[in-house]
Structure 1
Amino acid sequence: MSLNSDRLDAFTVVAKHLNFSEAANALGITQPALTRRIQRLEEEVGQRLFFRNQKGTLLTESGLRLLEYTKLRDKIEEQVCKDIGAPNDKELTGQIRIAGYSAIMHPVIIPSLQNLLISNPKVQAEFIIREVASIPILLNQLKVDFIITDFKINSSKVTSYLLGHEELVAVEHKDGTPRSNTYLDVDFKDNTTEKFFLAQKKSPQNYHRSYFNDDPGFLNGVLLKLGRAILPKHTILENSQLKILNQFQSVKNPVYLHYLESPYLTRLQKLIQKEIIENCQQYLLRTNK
């Protein structure tokens, strides 16, 4: 069965906006005309593709699978056009989207891709920073090509690659802090401090926690002597205002690269994957010096 391309294109735009009115405007057609296209596509595939709830328009499980197909189709079409149109052009083009947490994205992942991006100025890179727990959903919803987390995703649909390990250390202001029994985190769901102390032979008893919304926030809190924090060593090596608390053992924290299983990866995706795997170690290994 061959699916109607106009209806597939309409589906892709609705999936992008998750709003029929905005999608109709983007396509330059009326909303009733767009609704009819989606209804006929649903009749073709024999499944509902969207549903509505209090949050708005969302993709069904079948809709997510169809979106995965349309993205794969677009990638193949884009690569074929490039190969046919400029077979001798070695410069990369296209878009790459990577999501991860700030402690790994800024000091490790982005520098790992520096040379590739400089050598290929037509590549559009989008780096998305999120809290670790909210990163996998971006991959599941096909909003990114790669994600970086500190845990492995056990799914047959996802390929996970261990990039290496961060070295977590306890730090405070170089002059100390009057709040030495307070540890700073992003929010109550951030379990970095808890994991760190579970790995210690002797941990502080009944320590307090304070929350600063994001990584820059609680780092600023440490610099203001508002408490201590658990941080990857590679994020603080050049900060002369901080000192590592050597009474605590450093703890290794895994770093994983994930992407969806696919029968087709573009040349750009393959090279991005290769650059991250080959280059990130030099930034992670700084923690062991």
Structure 2
Amino acid sequence: MKISNLGLSAFLQTAKDLNITNAAKELGLTQSALSQRISLLEADLEVTLFVREPRGLKLTEAGEKLLKFASIQKQLENELLWDIKGSQENIAGHFRLAAYSSVLRSMIIPSLAGLMRAHPGISIDFQSYEMYELPDVLKSAKADLIVMDYKWGKSGLHESVLGYEEFVVIESVKHQSPADVYLDHGPLDNATESFFKNQSKVPKLIRRSFMGDVYGIIDAVELGLGRAVMSRHLVNDNKYVKIVPGYQKYKRPITIHYHDQPYYSRLHSLILKELEKKAPSFLS
């Protein structure tokens, strides 16, 4: 039995988009042609790769296994093409890295900037997601590596800790902040709740207000719109906010996750090395 390259290409794009219309457009195919290629692939493999749910397509267990294989094959193909056209001294290729906003801008991008300057052929697609979205981003192959603030513990994945984020309570230096208003990204942001679950000193009342992203939270605290539970490394040098004393230390692990596989491209390995070497310094 042989896996059709046309079928695999159709499957890979559909697995990334989880939407037949979008995948067909990306591949320059009609929806019926794309569906036919996937159906033929499923018939050849004698498995179902997708199931339809009210929210759209979802990969089956067989589909997840095939997606892992297809992603590895794509990495191998990209590296081979560069080896043929390029040189051993200059690394090139495309890599997709997804993380939550606070560490992406303050830690991940700065850690890899030197590598990208030294090797202009490297292209990294930096993606910002809410924490709850990141597991699905990796499962659907929208990213090659994700960064989260907890250990997923899922089989078939490699995970390692880059460092630990320490959280503190901050308020404005210039303005009187309401002591019961705490600012978060949005309703699903659990930083404030988790922080106070680990404290003996808890406010009697917490009113939440949402600012969209971590830098919006810091701006709002500076303006005296409320307090916030914030990563210490993001405010260490900020003269417009101050840390509220009296709380116990609370830390979360900054973890990288990617699929276990028998082969990793040179670019993948180099990015991991750079992150492990440089990222912890940004937490000081």
Same fold (TM over 0.5): yes
TM-superposed CA distance for 1:77, in Å, is 2.1
Distance 2:137 2:195 in 1: 27
The verdict on how the C-alpha distance between 1:174 and 1:26 changes in structure 2, with shifts beyond 3 A counting, is: closer
Structure 1 residue matching 2:48: 3-state secondary structure: coil
Tell me the residue number matched to 2:108: 109
Paired position in structure 2 for 1:75 = 75
- Deviation of residue 172 (structure 1)? 0.4
- Of stretches 111-120 and 191-200 in structure 1, the one that deviates more from structure 2 is 191-200
User: Match of 2:65?
Assistant: 65
Do the aligned partners of 2:10 and 2:34 also contact (CA within 8 Å) in 1? Answer: yes
Q: Which moved more, 1:241-250 or 1:157-166?
A: 241-250
Shift of 1:179: 0.8
Question: Displacement, 1:13?
Answer: 3.2
Aligned partner of 2:15 in structure 1 is: 15
Is the Cα–Cα contact under 8 Å of residues 171 and 177 in structure 2 kept in the other structure?
Answer: no
Percent identity between matched residues is: 36
Q: Which whole-Å deviations, capped at 9, do the CAs of 1:217-244 have from their partners, x for residues lacking one?
A: 3222212211100111111122211111
Residues 68 and 259, structure 2, Cα contact 8 Å, conserved in 1: no
Check whether the contact 2:82–2:93 (CA below 8 A) recurs between aligned residues: no
Q: Which runs of 5+ in 1 are unaligned?
A: none
Report the CA distance between 1:201 and its aligned residue.
3.1
Write the letter of the residue equivalent to 2:185.
Answer: V
Q: CA offsets per residue over residues 128-163 of structure 1, 9 Å max, x none?
A: 111212211111111111111111011121111011
1:244 aligns with 2:243: yes
Measured in 2, the distance between the counterparts of 1:199 and 1:23 equals 45
CA distance 1:180–1:157, change in 2 (3 Å): same
Task: Give 1:189's aligned residue.
Answer: 188
Indicate the residue corresponding to 2:97 in structure 1.
98
Matched residue, 2:52: 52
State the one-letter code of the partner of 1:225.
Answer: G
Residues 142 and 246 (structure 1), Cα distance of their counterparts in 2 relative to 1, 3 Å cut: same
Residues 143/247 of structure 1: CA separation in 2 closer, same or farther (3 Å cut):
same
Paired residue secondary structure (2:160): strand
Could you say what secondary structure the match of 2:163 adopts?
A: strand
Give the TM-score normalised by structure 1. Answer: 0.90
Q: 1:3 deviation in Å?
A: 1.3
* Distance across 2 between alignment mates of 1:43 and 1:152: 37
Structure 1 SS opposite 2:103:
helix
CA distance change for structure 1 residues 274 and 32 in 2, over 3 Å: closer, same or farther? same
CA–CA separation in structure 1 for the residues paired with 2:241 and 2:105: 19
Please list, as runs of the form range in 1=range in 2, the aligned pairs for 1:170-249 lying within 5 A after superposition.
170-249=169-248
Deviations 1:35-88 (A, max 9, x none): 3322221111001223333333443332232122111112112222333444x4
> How does the TM-score come out when normalised to structure 2?
0.91
Residues 169/31 of structure 1: CA separation in 2 closer, same or farther (3 Å cut):
closer
- Name which of structure 1's ranges 23-32 and 109-118 shifts more when overlaid on structure 2: 23-32
Give the letter for the 1:42 counterpart. E
Which amino acid counterpart does residue 122 of structure 1 have in structure 2? G
Pairwise CA distance, 1:25: 4.7
Q: Distance in 2 between matches of 1:149 and 1:26?
A: 29
Change over 3 Å in CA distance of 1:39–1:234 after alignment to 2? same
Q: Return the alpha-carbon distance in structure 1 between the equivalents of residues 32 and 130 of structure 2.
A: 39
**2:3 paired residue number:** 3
Runs of 5+ unmatched residues, structure 2: none
Q: Aligned partner of 2:235: which letter?
A: I
Residue deviations 1:192-227, cap 9 Å, x none? 112222333322222322222322332222122111
Does the 8 Å CA contact 2:16/2:141 hold for their aligned counterparts? no
Would the alpha carbon gap of residues 207 and 142 (structure 1) be closer, same or farther in structure 2, given more than 3 Å must change?
A: same
